[in-house]
Amino acid sequence: MTSGHRSSFFSRVYEVVAKIPYGRVVSYGQIARMLGSPRGARTVGWALSACPEGLPWQRVVKADGYIAGGEFAELRRAILTEEGVPFLSEWRVDMEACGWDGVDVIIRAIEEAEYPLLEDFLYYAIYLPPGTEPVPREIIYDPEIYIYVDGFGGADDCGLVAEQDGEIIGAAWTRIIPAYGHVDDETPELAISVLPGRRGRGVGAMLLTRLFEQLRGHGYKRTSLSVQKDNPAVRLYERLGYRITKERIDHAGNEDYIMVKEL
Domain boundaries in the chain?
3-98, 105-262
Three-class SS of residue 219?
coil
The whole model's pTM is what?
A: 0.66
Element (H, E) at 31: helix 28-34
How many Å from the N-terminal Cα to the C-terminal Cα in the chain?
26
Three-class SS of residue 175?
strand
Kindly report the CATH class assigned to 3-98. mainly alpha
* Pair 98, 23: CB distance under 8 Å: yes
Non-local (6+) Cβ contacts of 193 within 8 A are 121, 122, 124, 125, 170, 171, 172
Non-local (6+) Cβ contacts of 163 within 8 A are 105, 106, 107, 108, 169
- Which tens digits make up the pLDDT trace of 201-211? 667 877 888 89
- Which tens digits make up the pLDDT trace of 125-154? 999 988 989 999 999 999 999 999 999 999
Q: What is the predicted pLDDT for the residue at 24? A: 84
Q: What is the predicted pLDDT for the residue at 23? A: 82
CATH fold, domain 105-262, is Aminopeptidase (3.40.630)
Q: What is the predicted pLDDT for the residue at 221? A: 97
Please provide the average confidence, as pLDDT, over all residues in the chain. 90
Q: What is the predicted pLDDT for the residue at 160? A: 96
Q: What is the predicted pLDDT for the residue at 106? A: 77
